[in-house]
Structures are given as structure tokens and as C-alpha cells.
Amino acid sequence: MSMLSIFYAVLFNVAAIVLFAGLANRIRRYAGSPAPLKIATTPAPMTQSGVYWRLVREVVYFESLFKSSKWTWIFGWAFHFTLFLVTLRHLRYFQEPVWLPVAMIQPFGTYGGFVMVAALGGLWARRWLVDRVRYISTPSDHLHLALLMLIGISGLTMRFVSHTDIVAVKAFMLGLMRFDWQPLPADPVLLVHLGLVAILMIIFPLSKLLHAPGLFFSPTRNQTDNAREVRHVSAWAAALEKRP
């Protein structure tokens, strides 16, 4: 096996370790952060079941973003939804045999890539054209969007312009999962695409891109609006009250 294949095999193993360890550490930190006050964003549900339904609406429909900015919601929701489709489509490289739902989603994931890149373009344009957003945008914000767009563009290039040996790519990915490394095609576009994906995996748990788990631990979203009915005492505050 070539040194190139070995390099990418090691790279993806390291990227996977960083991704999952980083996610676990970030979720642990979120779960351990104290919430000393009732600070639910009103109007908020007054029951726990209402909180669950609010989180579902936020995750699936981006409810708060829809109420805040319709244009941002269009681009943001379109990007996340098509990213979900594209991710499901790529599951075929990690399955043998391929599950029927994954096989059925293939054409939707393929053309969803165009929508994903267009939506990223809209989100990036927003950071340049809207004064208040341009003012608070940092270089990392632009680099994250550029990275995601390059991943999408390189993937579409392989699909419609410069084709690669997807059978060999699947064998490589399955080999990574089974600890049986296989040769990787040396196509330049494929190597760029996989390299960018590995970079995304490494920086994901360390960057602003990791906002999905934080939603479930946000006191403004996961608390009931019952401050008048029930006194809120966090675990660390209750421990202090028990001290003599």
C-alpha cells in the first residue's frame, strides 16, 4: 500500500479520535455548567413536556431563527437540512450491504449538494453585506464557511466533473472501520475533498461549529417558565445551603 494511503488512513483515525473525544468532552462541560437562575426565554412553556416540544421545534424548524430573520432562516435551514441529506447519502461508504433508506436517499443527497453550497454562499454573503453581522464576524467565521463550501464544491466536482473510483473509496472507508487498511485512489480532487473533511472533523469540537449539543443544555431553552410556582435551586447552591 502506498504512503499516500497510509497517510490518509492515519489522518482519518486521528481525526475520528479528536472528533469523538472532543464531542464527549464538550458535552461533559455543558452538562456540568451551573444554571443558578430561571432564565428561560419567554414566552416559554410551563411544563416539561412543553419544553421537549419547544426543543423539537428548535432543532427541526429553527423556530427562534425564523422569528428573528427570515432570510437568515432560509439559508440556515436549507444548509442544515441538505447537509443532513448529504451526510445520509455518504453512509453508503460505511455499509455493506447498504440499508434500503440510505439507497433511496441517494438522488436527493446528490442534488441537495447544490442547495447546500448555494445556502452557504448566502450565509457567507450575509457576513459581508449586513453591517452589524460584518462588524462581529471574525476570520474564523469566514474560514469555517470557506471550508464547508470547498468540501461541497469538491464533492460535486467528483460527482459531475472528475469522477473517481467509488468502489475503491468504499473499500478504503470500510477498511478504516475494520482495521484493515485498503489502498486509496490518488485522484487529486478526492484527496482534497478527504483532506478538507479530515480538517473539519478535527476543528469541529473546538470551534463555533459545535452549537448543536449546546442547544439542549441552554437554560434559555431547556427550562420551564415556573419561577413563581417553584423555587429554582441548582445542585451547587443546595450544597452550600446545607453547610453549617
End-to-end CA distance of the chain: 68
Closest C-alpha among 93, 122, 88, 121 to residue 106: 88
CB atoms within 10 A of CB 88: 18
Closest C-alpha among 201, 104, 108, 103 to residue 151: 201
Q: Quick one: the chain helix, strand, coil %, rounded to 5?
A: 75, 0, 25
Q: Looking at residue 38, what is its pLDDT?
A: 81
Q: Looking at residue 244, what is its pLDDT?
A: 60
Alpha-carbon span 108 to 83, nearest angstrom: 11
Kindly state the cell numbers that stand for 185. 485512489
Q: How many helices (H) and strands (E) does the chain have?
A: 13, 0
Closest C-alpha among 94, 58, 91 to residue 76: 58
Q: Looking at residue 150, what is its pLDDT?
A: 97
pTM score of the predicted model: 0.88
Kindly state the cell numbers that stand for 191. 484527496
Contacts of 224 (CB under 8 A, 6+ apart): 40, 44, 45, 46, 47, 48, 50, 51
Contacts of 168 (CB under 8 A, 6+ apart): 182, 183, 184, 185
Q: Looking at residue 37, what is its pLDDT?
A: 78
Kindly state the cell numbers that stand for 32. 456540568
Q: 88 to each of 59, 110, 184, 233, 238, how far by Cα in Å?
A: 17, 10, 22, 42, 45
Residue ranges for the chain with pLDDT beneath 50: none
Contacts of 102 (CB under 8 A, 6+ apart): 88, 89, 91, 92, 95
